Structure 1
Amino acid sequence: MSSWRVLRRALCTAVETAAAPVTGSRWERLKKSKAAVWCRGLLTDYKEACREVVVGSRERPIKASIYFSLLGGTWACFYTRPDKQAFEATLLDCSGQLGLLSPWIRNGTSDGHIQSLVKLRNEGRLRVVSLGLLSLVYQADYDPDATLYEAECSNLSVPWRELHERVLDVGFVGRWWVLASKMKDYDVNEEAFKGLPAHMQATSPPSVQEVETSERLHKESWLPLAVEEEETETNIADRKEESVGDDSQMHALKEEQIQA
């Protein structure tokens, strides 16, 4: 009975609303609609939030600067996150640098790491996953286009808890950090220096004074030789004496020929 009353009241209200004369223009009806009221409420909320942010920044500038720095750093990390194409380009660049060197000069660690990555890339087993602020490169067991049962079966796939054991590189702020560390001193073969004494195996960078001295000597080597005046006069006097001695010898030879 109560449900019937509720239904009758709803029908009566609908009939009265439909029979009521339409007043106002279409723009006024649009402004009074539920969508317009919701949009005005949303804009008001955003306006109040922006005003609170500005007021809070003026009251606590240090806290606001820290928050803005964190937001800016997060955006920069997200924007400079490297992708798969960047990793392949960096890998090929490093492989080309090592290819220009003789096998006797290459660093064994750098060469072995690059060769293993190139082999995985040729086999299609390199995977790059994006984690928002950074990217991870890990190795898979099979190529994604392989149609083997082991590659297609989801129950035989590598679980996520073993992903850290397969990670090969980390991309952050536009750089692949493991690859950069492996390529450090890639043109120095440490195996060639194992026969040297211990104090000769480790080298230290030159000091500032040694670098300045080397640069000064290098610049001086390109300057023309400066001959002093005293040395020039001495050389001229020696030449005159030599010429006088030669003339006297010639004169003596001529006299001996005449007498003979």
Structure 2
Amino acid sequence: MATGGTRGVWGRFVRSRVGRWFGSVLHDYAAAASDVTSGARRRPGAAALTVSSVAAAGAAAATVPSAESFDAAALDAAAALGLLSPGTRSPDADRHVQRLLRRRATGRLRYRDLVLAAVVYESPRAAGAAAYAQRCRYLRARWWEAPRRLLDVGFLGRWWVLRWRCRDYDVNEREFAALPERLRRLRRHQLRSHPQREGVRRQVPARGGAEGGAGR
């Protein structure tokens, strides 16, 4: 009896207007899925590219950094610079971090989530200000001033401008201003010992080992 009642209710639902509408929607989705499958079989390269693009976009959207992470990164950079003496800090890194801290203290930092990335920019005035210059639309910041007001770009879980500005935060380039230009930059191969010197070092026995062998 219960089975027959259920079939009767289901049959009436399928024959109703709402049931026919759901059936047509399911039919359209099934046809679209079939077309996508057949198209992927005909052009596997394009299908792989599309799937990779969608996956990359999803990963970027899932790892967009938050406003709290920017505050934490700026404070961490300020703490790292505070451990150094003024003579050893990078002027560029210190100037950028101090600018961020001043905008943060006055409430002029703005965060905007752009789905795939995030941006932090400065506002001419603090949030919630009721001054006339803030309320008048003719005195607000113009769109062409956006590049100058942009402070950082967040993508894939990192704030890239802050990371780039603080890459050598413990190197003061002014200390090397008196050196010739060829001595101001070190290339990667110059950071390693010369191969011939390393070979000589391996050939010469340690002092303690030589004395030990002579003693024996």
Same fold (TM over 0.5): yes
Residue 96 (structure 1) shift? 1.1
Quick one: structure 1 residues 197 and 173, their matched pair in 2 at CA, closer, same or farther if it must change by over 3 Å?
same
Q: Which residue does 2:38 correspond to in 1?
A: 55
SS in 2 for 1:158: coil
TM-score (norm 1): 0.70
Residue 132 (structure 1) shift? 1.8
Quick one: structure 1 residues 221 and 86, their matched pair in 2 at CA, closer, same or farther if it must change by over 3 Å?
farther
SS in 2 for 1:206: helix
Quick one: structure 1 residues 63 and 191, their matched pair in 2 at CA, closer, same or farther if it must change by over 3 Å?
same
Q: Which residue does 1:70 correspond to in 2?
A: 53
Which of 135, 139, 145 is the equivalent residue of 2:122? 139
Rounded Cα–Cα distance in structure 1 between residues aligned with 2:157 and 2:102: 24
SS in 1 for 2:121: strand
SS in 1 for 2:49: helix
AA paired with 1:227?
Answer: E
Equivalent positions of 1:138-217 (< 5 A) are: 138-206=121-189, 210=193
Equivalent positions of 1:17-32 (< 5 A) are: 25-32=8-15
Gaps of 5+ in 2: 1-6
Residue deviations 1:43-63 (CA, integer Å, cap 9, x gap)? 111111112222222222111
Residue 88 (structure 1) shift? 0.9
SS in 2 for 1:227: helix
Kindly, what percent of the aligned residue pairs are identical?
34
Quick one: structure 1 residues 125 and 192, their matched pair in 2 at CA, closer, same or farther if it must change by over 3 Å?
same
Gaps of 5+ in 1: 1-23, 234-260
Q: Which moved more, 1:25-34 or 1:91-100?
A: 25-34
AA paired with 2:125?
Answer: Y
Q: Which residue does 2:3 correspond to in 1?
A: none
SS in 2 for 1:105: coil
Residue deviations 1:160-186 (CA, integer Å, cap 9, x gap)? 343223111111222212111111211
Equivalences, count: 208
AA paired with 2:159?
Answer: W
Rounded Cα–Cα distance in structure 1 between residues aligned with 2:131 and 2:208: 75
SS in 2 for 1:186: coil
SS in 2 for 1:225: helix
Aligned CA RMSD, in angstroms, stands at 2.9
Quick one: structure 1 residues 194 and 209, their matched pair in 2 at CA, closer, same or farther if it must change by over 3 Å?
closer
Rounded Cα–Cα distance in structure 1 between residues aligned with 2:117 and 2:139: 27
Residue deviations 1:104-129 (CA, integer Å, cap 9, x gap)? 10011110011011100111001011
Q: Which residue does 1:104 correspond to in 2?
A: 87
Q: Which residue does 1:243 correspond to in 2?
A: none
| The structure with more radius of gyration | 1
TM-score (norm 2): 0.83
Q: Which moved more, 1:116-125 or 1:194-203?
A: 194-203
SS in 1 for 2:151: strand
Which of 84, 90, 107 is the equivalent residue of 1:124? 107
